[in-house]
Amino acid sequence: MRVLSVINDGLLQATNALLEMTIGEYLDIGLRILHNNQYQRKRVSRSSSVYSLLNEDMKRLCSIPTIVLAFTDGAPEVDLHEGMPEDELRRLLSNDNLIILDGLQRTYTMRDVDSDLLFYDEGKRRFKEHKIRIEVYCGLSKTGILYRMLTLNTGQTPMSKRHEIEILYSSYLDNEIDGISFNRQIDPNVQRGIDVYDFDDAIEGFNAFLDADEAPIDRIDLLSVVKRLEKVVNNDYQRDMFEQFIRLYNGFVHVIDEKTNHWTIGDLQRGRLTSIYGKDIPGIFNKSQTLSAFGAAVGNLLWKSEDRGFGNISEQFNNISFIGDTSETIFHLLQILQEIREGAKKIGVAQRLYMRLFFEKLLDSHSESYLNFTHSITRAKEQYDAKTIQPRQASLFD
């Protein structure tokens, strides 16, 4: 085990040391820190063709891409340098604040090869003595760790867009918000119901509020994100704004749930729909389309009227009214969303647009259907049709 070279990372203000060690030496480190990084993905199934092939290739002593580790900002200052004694290097790498940035699946695969009872002894000995290269980052901030995880995400099984969003905004999960809980991509048990949201959906809703635009986050420009991420992470005002936003939305969902007597779809209503947007109030209002639409609508309202804060909007929720049977009103909303689904080229985009129009009709004090849930559903559909249905062009035979 030795340090081959050390270079500075000017962007992240950290040092990067390139190490050489045997697989056996790495397993002593890697298996101990497998679960240290809370932002890592779950393990890819061993039956995956890519990692099944890698398993066999490793037994034949193939060269694998460099594994990347990092000391977290909770670790004491670490000085890795060329020519340092091996005992000192081992001692530093035994630190509990070491995490895997890139190479989790390779580490699992090496563990599988080492524990394979059918792999003969001489082959296993040569496998564990095979040399690999390891990069170790020292002095990375939390933001730097998240950034490197995203930019290193170029392997055979890239992260989903949702997981990337969760990583970028992970600092918002540090504190609980009034009994509201969030599901994350890495959570083994996903909960559903009132007061529960998928974290990436909540973040999309918050971004829609900040931009006053319900469009989904399709692509994250990492270079621009890293330039402003440190300010966002350390910006108590913006973190507080996220908490206020999610409280506002959750308060709205609670009011609708109570006013509709905790509506759930009945068998007769279910039979009248070919697709169901949501089977109950949480199912309808915990979707990313609905959250983003609400965020965009509230963002637009606050831009138009400077004296209307979150508090002024939430005070009006209890004044929301329904005409007729609340169950039929919610069912009418689902019928419209099904109609939009059947006629749209991009379903999510179309549903977001309609729901934003619905929330604007419902929450804008200048709207003719202000605080009237039933009328807002109809008025929003009329406006949606006016925006999306193209007039027929006149032909030569008209």
Given a cut of 80, is residue 229 above it in pLDDT?
no
Other CB atoms within a 10 A radius of the CB of residue 61 amount to 14
According to the model, what pLDDT value does residue 227 have?
46
How confident is the model over 378-392, as pLDDT tens digits? Answer: 999 999 999 887 654
Q: Which helix (H) or strand (E) covers residue 135, if one does? A: strand 131-138
According to the model, what pLDDT value does residue 143 have?
67
Cα separations (Å) of 86 from 18, 180, 275, 356?
Answer: 14, 49, 63, 61
How confident is the model over 98-144, as pLDDT tens digits? Answer: 888 888 889 999 999 998 888 888 999 999 999 999 999 998 877 67
When the pLDDT of each residue in the chain is averaged and rounded to a whole number, the result is: 83
According to the model, what pLDDT value does residue 241 have?
77
Given a cut of 60, is residue 394 above it in pLDDT?
no
Given a cut of 80, is residue 232 above it in pLDDT?
no
Rg of the chain taking only CA atoms, in angstroms: 27
Given a cut of 60, is residue 223 above it in pLDDT?
no
According to the model, what pLDDT value does residue 310 have?
77
Give the residue from 12, 131, 5, 132 showing the smallest Cα distance to 70.
12
According to the model, what pLDDT value does residue 199 have?
84
Query: How many CA atoms lie within 13 Å of 345's alpha carbon, on the beta-carbon side?
Result: 2
pTM over 0.75: no
According to the model, what pLDDT value does residue 331 have?
96
According to the model, what pLDDT value does residue 185 have?
66
Block residue for tokens 């900002």: 73
Query: How many CA atoms lie within 13 Å of 180's alpha carbon, on the beta-carbon side?
Result: 24
In the chain, the amino acid numbered 261 is N
Given a cut of 50, is residue 233 above it in pLDDT?
no
How confident is the model over 241-297, as pLDDT tens digits? Answer: 788 899 999 999 999 999 999 999 999 999 999 999 999 999 999 999 999 999 999
According to the model, what pLDDT value does residue 221 have?
46
Block residue for tokens 């062009």: 393
Given a cut of 70, is residue 161 above it in pLDDT?
no
Helix (H, G, I), strand (E, B) or coil at 112: helix
Most confident of 94-103, 171-180, 200-209, 276-285: 276-285
Helix (H, G, I), strand (E, B) or coil at 64: coil
According to the model, what pLDDT value does residue 38 have?
59
CB 329 within 8 A of CB 256: no
How confident is the model over 355-380, as pLDDT tens digits? Answer: 999 999 999 999 999 999 999 999 99
Which one has a higher pLDDT value, 316 or 13?
316
Given a cut of 80, is residue 347 above it in pLDDT?
yes
Quote the percentage of the chain above a pLDDT of 90.
48
* Interacting residues of 45 by C-beta distance below 8 A, sequence separation 6+: 51
According to the model, what pLDDT value does residue 328 have?
96
According to the model, what pLDDT value does residue 231 have?
45
According to the model, what pLDDT value does residue 230 have?
47
Range 179-201 average pLDDT: 81
How confident is the model over 58-79, as pLDDT tens digits? Answer: 989 999 999 999 888 666 688 8
How confident is the model over 306-334, as pLDDT tens digits? Answer: 545 677 888 999 999 999 999 999 999 99
CB 326 within 8 A of CB 259: yes
Given a cut of 90, is residue 226 above it in pLDDT?
no
